[in-house]
Amino acid sequence: MEHHYPPTMDKVEREIEFHLEKNKDLAQIFEVYKGILAVHLDYLEKIKVSVPFSEEEIKDFFRKGQYLLSQQQLDVDSVVFKDVLGSIAKTIKEKSPEAPEALLTLVEAEEFKKENVQEFLQKIVVYNKQQLEKYIQEIGLDKRTELDSEIISFVIFAATSLFYSVYKDEVRKITDFSLWRLSYCPVCGQLATIAKHREEDGARILECWLCHAHWYYPRVECPYCDNKDHKKLRFFYVPGDRSRQVHVCEECKSYLKTIDSKAMEKEAILDLEAIATAYLDVLAEREGYKLPGGDGDSLN
């Protein structure tokens, strides 16, 4: 079944209820998620992006391992981007009263002026979360706005994610990602940090955290170092919940959170699972494994 972003608010509400039955402490972070989703749904129709490639050209890039946005600059409407960014900052402040007041003025920073937006977005296009935080500190955006680089990075990616997702959906109208067999996203080049085993056949599907593309990757293979030695690949889970697993590689010491849809008996929204399974990140790190792309590793 093809996956579209953003999901409907009804589906998200139902899924959140399911998670809150187990852990009430997630209530506030899910409120923030719903607020961001509402902004995305509001602006969805206002975003227009174009894919200048034919089906054959896209397939050719995929065969060569070239993700699409390494071959094209994503043209973002700077006015719409600024509106989305400002709306997301505002909704985070509304849903998290303890969030800094300075969030409401982030959108006034030099980087988000109409004439600077495109250049700024081009600069950060290949960055993962850690790399963007580092860049924010380098250019002093954190000091100028009196905000932590982590929250600035979060707001910027929450805004850009919508534009990337719309682009991904346009690509999917032209062709699927069946030729793609790499750990980074065929659309935007980010590394997958969560996966699922498909309910109908158990196939492993990686999901991009930024544009929400889905693509197939072999199960008995590490997506980050291509290790195929099954003796060095294993997974663990918290007793009593086999549906939420951590797959680890002893070769590169990376881990990948994986949702087993068959064990769960339903298709999950991986964005919500990523939030709800934060305890698995703690467990994996305690065991000496790391998230791929961390510590400023380059993604591509």
Count of other CB atoms within 10 angstroms of residue 9:
12
**What CA–CA distances, in Å, run from 64 to 12, 207, 225?**
37, 20, 18
- The predicted pLDDT at position 50 comes to 93
How does pLDDT run across 125-147, given as a tens digit for each residue?
889 999 999 999 999 999 999 99
**What CA–CA distances, in Å, run from 255 to 17, 82, 112, 258, 286?**
28, 35, 35, 9, 12
- Model confidence at 2, in pLDDT bands (50, 70, 90)? low
On average, the pLDDT of the chain sits at 93
Cα 69 from Cα 121, distance rounded (Å): 12
Instruction: Find the distance separating the first CA and the last CA of the chain, reported in whole Å.
Output: 28
Cα 206 from Cα 212, distance rounded (Å): 9
Chain-centroid distance of CA 67 in Å reads: 16
Q: Which range has highest mean pLDDT (66-75, 121-130, 147-156)?
A: 147-156
How does pLDDT run across 38-53, given as a tens digit for each residue?
999 999 999 999 999 9
In the numeric block, the tokens 């990686």 are attached to 206
Q: Which two tokens stand for residue 85?
A: 């960014």
SS (H, E, C) 276-287: HCHHHHHHHHHC
How does pLDDT run across 231-248, given as a tens digit for each residue?
999 999 999 999 999 999
Indicate the pTM of the whole model. Answer: 0.92
- The predicted pLDDT at position 295 comes to 45
User: H or E element: which one contains 236?
Assistant: strand 233-237
- The predicted pLDDT at position 3 comes to 61
**Sheet of strand 204-207, all strands in order from the earlier edge strand to the far edge:** 214-216, 204-207, 194-197, 255-260, 244-249, 233-237
3-state secondary structure of 149: helix
**What CA–CA distances, in Å, run from 7 to 2, 82, 110?**
12, 23, 33
Q: Once rounded to an integer, what is the mean pLDDT over residues 97-107? A: 95
| Partners of 236 in beta bridges | 246
pLDDT exceeds 50 at position 294: yes
3-state secondary structure of 220: coil
SS (H, E, C) 50-84: CCCCCHHHHHHHHHCCCCHHHCCCCCCCHHHHHHH
